[in-house]
């Protein structure tokens, strides 16, 4: 049973706030399970593959992340137009956009296969890959290209499930595929398989997953039709107008979150990629967890924008921003205080010092994107992708430039700084100002009602936990789990006290957004 005060914050049963909270919690739950599995498997995979080979796999994963650019941003555009037209009951338009997107994704798949072949040929010259691993690296890269090319067209139909906001269906499919995919990886890698085996498992899992999601789309919308003749130029122009800006956002995100591994492999060493990734993975999990929960805002924002309900959009941003940072704060504080001990217990003493420094910097660095994710979601949903593209590109270029400049003098720590600094400037200052101005909300008042209380509680929690002293050795999992619970409890106490002592910091006390404010 939901506590009465918490239920009041979520809204009445059946309200948009309650629905989004439930869908977000489900998506977050699937991600948490996925992160736990990946966390548990990481030391085994490094052991099975070796540090150098695992670094090669990380490079391939980062490099092929750029293949997502080949879809020209069509997938977020499909979600936007499906949510918009579904809210208006225009099924003919839904079919037109879906079939146009399927055709566009199919063409993108051909581009991906060509790009994979070219990159596979030049791969050994681009990175310091050991000679004995070159053949497997090339084949694995080609298989990853096939994986993306095969699955890409069917993303048009999974977008239908997203556009109809049925995250519960997606979560069940994702959970099933998580179990099947990782079960196959454990079975085959433990028997001596390498990165080629890993790529084959992912390819097979993608085929099964896309089949399930396409079937779900046709079940949820019986009027949906697979008929490529419905594709037309007008729908393609709509998708590409939206998508060309979305592709800039995608490129910028690649520069921010996927380029780090390549910069490390290019300017430092391949084994250093693993050391960097070991420190970056926990902050990255937290960022992805909150993004998974907040992603439900995107189609909801699209539907509200189609109905010109700007007041509801303002409430989504304020409540979402406060909730996101409140959920992330105790996890990030835990990493800052106890993260090095966690790495020591998880991975052992090798390279922990370097990895811990990366983790501390990125734990601070991811706080800004987490806090601003509701703005990103609303910009996507309300078709403000041009402004989002400009801000994202600024962050991505700054990230790449600073990372390259600091990689050699500071090593992997410099690459982490190159990620954290631009993120803070763009997500804490520039992006909120751009979005809030559109809806007539003062930046200072919004920050006070959305961010002040969770950030103050986080700072007080960090100060309080400085009194906890641990020995130099690994403290054991029981102690680490207990400390995570203690961190959350201390944060909760300070959150409650701040609400009593300084009620002006409580987001619930913020003035409502009036429809006229959004003009």
Give me the pLDDT at residue 512, please.
Answer: 41
Give me the pLDDT at residue 71, please.
Answer: 54
- Show the tokens assigned to 139: 């084949």
Give me the pLDDT at residue 334, please.
Answer: 94
Cα separation, 170 vs 503, in Å, equals: 39
Residues 231 and 267 in one domain: no
Domain contains 33: no
Give me the pLDDT at residue 513, please.
Answer: 40
Residues 197 and 265 in one domain: no
Give me the pLDDT at residue 5, please.
Answer: 46
Asked if 507 and 449 touch (Cβ cutoff 8 Å), the reply is: yes
Cα dihedral 246, 56, 292, 111 sign: positive
Asked if 274 and 51 touch (Cβ cutoff 8 Å), the reply is: yes
Cα separation, 310 vs 295, in Å, equals: 19
Cα separation, 287 vs 372, in Å, equals: 11
- 31: nearest Cα among 226, 294, 237: 294
Query: Which of 37-41, 266-270, 324-328 reaches the highest mean pLDDT?
Result: 324-328
Domain contains 23: no
Residue that the structure tokens 């010109």 belong to: 308
Residue 156 reports pLDDT greater than 90: no
> Among 174-183, 265-274, 453-462, which is the least confidently predicted range?
265-274
Cα separation, 395 vs 434, in Å, equals: 15
Residue 486 reports pLDDT greater than 90: yes
Q: CA 105 from chain center: how many Å?
A: 22
> Over the stretch 363-405, which tens digit does the pLDDT of each residue have?
998 898 888 888 888 887 777 777 887 888 888 889 889 999 9
Q: Model confidence at 208, in pLDDT bands (50, 70, 90)?
A: very high
Structural domain boundaries, residue 189: 50-237
> Over the stretch 436-448, which tens digit does the pLDDT of each residue have?
887 777 777 777 7
376 contact partners, CB below 8 Å, separation of at least 6: 388, 431
Residues 286 and 389 in one domain: yes
Domain contains 7: no
Residue 14 reports pLDDT greater than 70: no
Q: What's the rounded mean pLDDT across residues 262-283?
A: 84
Domain contains 246: no
Give me the pLDDT at residue 469, please.
Answer: 79
Cα separation, 151 vs 75, in Å, equals: 12
CB-count exposure of residue 91 (10 Å: 0-12, 13-18, 19+)? middle
Name the pTM for this structure: 0.64
Identify the domain boundary among 180, 204, 237.
237
* Angle at which helices 16-49 and 51-65 cross, to 10°: 140
Higher-confidence residue of 469 and 518: namely: 469
* Angle at which helices 16-49 and 167-189 cross, to 10°: 10
- Show the tokens assigned to 63: 């490099």
Q: Model confidence at 74, in pLDDT bands (50, 70, 90)?
A: low
Instruction: Tell me the backbone φ, ψ of residue 475, rounded to 5 degrees.
Output: -80, -15
- Show the tokens assigned to 235: 């729908």
Residues 220 and 289 in one domain: no
Q: What's the rounded mean pLDDT across residues 171-182?
A: 88
Residues 212 and 82 in one domain: yes
Residues 227 and 263 in one domain: no
Domain contains 168: yes
Domain contains 99: yes
Give me the pLDDT at residue 64, please.
Answer: 67
Identify the domain boundary among 208, 237, 266.
237
Give me the pLDDT at residue 491, please.
Answer: 94
Give me the pLDDT at residue 16, please.
Answer: 53
**Measured between alpha carbons, how far is residue 397 from residues 248, 296, 400 in Å?**
11, 28, 5
Give me the pLDDT at residue 405, please.
Answer: 93
Give me the pLDDT at residue 511, please.
Answer: 41
179 contact partners, CB below 8 Å, separation of at least 6: none
Residue that the structure tokens 């090339």 belong to: 138
Domain contains 271: yes
Residues 199 and 150 in one domain: yes
Q: Where are the alpha helices (DSSP H) in 153-232?
A: 155-163, 167-189, 195-220
What is the total count of domains within the chain? 2
Q: What's the rounded mean pLDDT across residues 187-204?
A: 88
Residues 344 and 464 in one domain: yes
> Rounded mean pLDDT of the chain?
79
Give me the pLDDT at residue 228, please.
Answer: 82
Q: Where are the alpha helices (DSSP H) in 411-476?
A: 412-425, 431-438, 443-447, 453-465
Residues 233 and 269 in one domain: no
Instruction: Give the Cβ contact number of residue 503 at 10 Å.
Output: 11
Cα separation, 446 vs 315, in Å, equals: 11
Domain contains 12: no
Residue 463 reports pLDDT greater than 90: yes
Q: pLDDT exceeding 70 applies to what percent of the chain?
A: 83
Residues 347 and 213 in one domain: no
Instruction: Give the Cβ contact number of residue 1 at 10 Å.
Output: 4
Q: What's the rounded mean pLDDT across residues 208-221?
A: 88
Cα separation, 428 vs 174, in Å, equals: 32
Residues 217 and 275 in one domain: no
> Over the stretch 223-266, which tens digit does the pLDDT of each residue have?
888 888 888 888 888 777 776 666 677 666 666 666 787 788 88
Tally of residues, the chain: 519
Residue 504 reports pLDDT greater than 90: no
Residues 197 and 314 in one domain: no
Q: What's the rounded mean pLDDT across residues 345-360?
A: 80
Based on its alpha-carbon atoms, the radius of gyration of the chain, rounded to whole angstroms, reads 23
Q: Model confidence at 329, in pLDDT bands (50, 70, 90)?
A: very high
- Show the tokens assigned to 508: 């619930």
Q: Where are the alpha helices (DSSP H) in 348-452?
A: 352-365, 367-381, 385-410, 412-425, 431-438, 443-447
Identify the domain boundary among 187, 205, 237.
237
Cα separation, 225 vs 218, in Å, equals: 8
- The helix (run of H) or strand (run of E) holding residue 179 is helix 167-189
Higher-confidence residue of 81 and 181: namely: 181
What end-to-end distance do the CA atoms of the chain give, in Å? 39
**Measured between alpha carbons, how far is residue 120 from residues 24, 115, 136 in Å?**
38, 8, 10
């Amino acid at each position: 049973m939901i506590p009465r005060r918490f239920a009041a914050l979520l809204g009445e049963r059946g309200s948009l706030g309650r629905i989004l909270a439930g869908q977000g919690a489900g998506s977050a739950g699937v991600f948490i399970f996925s992160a736990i599995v990946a966390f548990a498997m990481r030391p085994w995979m490094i052991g099975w593959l070796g540090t150098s080979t695992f670094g090669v796999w990380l490079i391939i994963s980062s490099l092929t992340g750029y293949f997502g650019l080949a879809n020209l941003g069509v997938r977020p555009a499909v979600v936007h137009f499906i949510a918009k037209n579904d809210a208006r009951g225009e099924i003919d338009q839904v079919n037109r956009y879906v079939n146009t997107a399927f055709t566009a994704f199919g063409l993108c798949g051909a581009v991906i296969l060509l790009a994979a072949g070219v990159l596979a040929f030049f791969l050994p010259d681009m990175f310091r890959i050991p000679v004995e691993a070159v053949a497997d690296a090339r084949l694995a890269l080609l298989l990853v290209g096939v994986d993306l090319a095969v699955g890409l067209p069917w993303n048009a139909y999974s977008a239908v499930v997203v556009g109809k906001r049925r995250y519960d269906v997606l979560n069940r499919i994702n959970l099933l595929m998580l179990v099947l995919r990782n079960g196959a990886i454990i079975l085959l890698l433990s028997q001596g398989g390498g990165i080629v085996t890993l790529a084959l498992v992912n390819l097979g899992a993608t085929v099964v997953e896309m089949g399930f999601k396409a079937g779900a789309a046709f079940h949820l919308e019986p009027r949906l039709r697979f008929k490529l003749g419905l594709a037309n130029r007008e729908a393609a122009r709509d998708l590409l107008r939206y998508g060309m800006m979305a592709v800039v956002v995608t490129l910028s995100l690649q520069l921010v979150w996927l380029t780090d591994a390549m910069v490390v492999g290019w300017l430092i060493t391949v084994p250093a990629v693993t050391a960097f990734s070991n420190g970056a993975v926990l902050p990255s999990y937290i960022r992805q967890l909150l993004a998974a929960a907040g992603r439900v805002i995107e189609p909801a924002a699209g539907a509200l924008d189609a109905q010109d309900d700007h007041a509801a959009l303002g409430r989504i941003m304020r409540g979402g921003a406060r909730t996101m940072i409140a959920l992330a704060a105790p996890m990030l504080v835990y990493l800052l205080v106890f993260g090095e001990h966690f790495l020591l217990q998880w991975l052992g003493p090798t390279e922990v010092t370097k990895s811990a420094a990366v983790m501390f910097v990125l734990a601070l660095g991811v706080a800004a994107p987490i806090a601003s994710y509701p703005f990103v979601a609303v910009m996507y949903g309300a078709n403000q992708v041009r402004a989002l593209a400009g801000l994202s590109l600024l962050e991505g270029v700054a990230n790449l430039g600073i990372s390259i400049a600091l990689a050699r003098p500071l090593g992997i720590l410099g690459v982490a700084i190159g990620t954290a600094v631009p993120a803070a400037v763009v997500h804490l200052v520039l992006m909120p100002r751009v979005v809030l101005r559109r809806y007539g909300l003062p930046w200072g008042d919004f920050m006070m009602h959305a961010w002040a209380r969770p950030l103050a509680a986080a700072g007080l929690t960090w100060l309080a936990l400085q009194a906890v002293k641990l020995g130099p050795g690994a403290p054991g999992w029981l102690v680490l789990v207990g400390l995570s619970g203690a961190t959350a409890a201390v944060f909760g106490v300070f959150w409650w006290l701040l609400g009593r002592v300084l009620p002006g910091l409580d987001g619930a006390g913020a003035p409502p957004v009036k429809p006229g404010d959004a003009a």
